[in-house]
Amino acid sequence: MQANNKLTASLVMASRFENIEVAERTLLDLCGRAGCKADEEYWLLTALREALANAVRHGNRQNPDQVVRVFLTIENSTATIRVEDEGDGFEPANVPDPTTPENLLRPSGRGIFYMRQFMNRVEFGPTPTGGTAVVMARDLDQPDSGRS
Amino acid sequence: MKSSIRDVGDVRIIELSGKITIGAGDVKIRELIGEAIEDGKQDVILDLGGVTAIDSSGIGEMVACYTTVTKRGGQLKLMHLSPKITDILQVTQLITVFDVFDDEREAIGSF
């Protein structure tokens, strides 16, 4: 998997929540190989989990016949996660701010907010087939051989 | 996610461990709060000391349970938050919604 200091993995998963853990384990493996610090690993996993939950629930509406594609890369001290669904696309600007007083007690609507909090860059765009692709990147501290 | 419940006086303490994430622990929290209400326990403490990860669905379910308990005249409080779960609650300002405790006796005495 490791070549020229670049670590990559890709997955194609049926739209089931239980598959989120498979992607988590793959990211954990990459983080371990890259020497990511424990804190970074935790927030990367958190962001990945949110992106996948959105793709399965909102993008593909839990239709197991539609797939979610995951691309994970750690290169040059940056971790990048790309998640694609096969849904109808959506407009992230329409998602209300969950921290405003009127939204504070809403039971949903925090996933994208968390992704933006715990990653340095988050961008949404359409896939060629009309679904949604989210690309998230986090700048890593200098990798080391151990966990903090 | 694993859970265990115990009562101290009129207070239901629900100890949670593992992951509270979509499709797993999030629904379980709702069921546990429903049980507390059925058992006549209005005041509930969620002990998150053993929780290793929580996602927005788990947080959302905790918020929904907070609303459910409050509407019935009770209170839902949190105990033993890890630094990361504290961070997750802080960034969404939910730390201002929940009463949070590190000490069980103090938590029980706050009702």
Q: Taking the domains of chain A in order of start, what are their residue ranges? A: 2-139
Distance in Å, alpha carbon of B89 to nearest chain A alpha carbon: 10
Q: If one looks up domain A2-139 in CATH, what number appears?
A: 3.30.565.10
pLDDT in single tens digits along all 111 residues of chain B: 999 999 999 999 999 999 999 987 778 999 999 999 999 999 999 999 999 999 999 999 999 999 999 999 999 999 999 999 999 999 999 999 999 999 999 999 999
pLDDT at A81: 98
What the block records as the tokens of A137 is: 């990147």
The answer to whether the Cβ–Cβ distance between B23 and A114 falls below 8 Å is no
pTM: 0.92
ipTM value > 0.85: yes
- Residue B81: which residues within 8 A CB-CB, separation 6 or more? B48, B89, B100
Phi, psi of A84 (to 5 degrees): -120, 140
Which domains are delineated in chain B? Answer: 2-109 (3.30.750.24)
pLDDT at A96 over 50: yes
pLDDT bucket at A138, cuts 50 / 70 / 90 = very high
Mean pLDDT of the residues in chain A = 92
Distance in Å, alpha carbon of A3 to nearest chain B alpha carbon: 31
Q: Which chain A residues have a beta carbon less than 8 Å from that of B84?
A: 42
pLDDT at A93: 86
Question: What is the Cα–Cα distance from B76 to B5, expressed in whole angstroms?
Answer: 14
Average pLDDT over residues A29-44: 96
pLDDT at A143 over 70: no
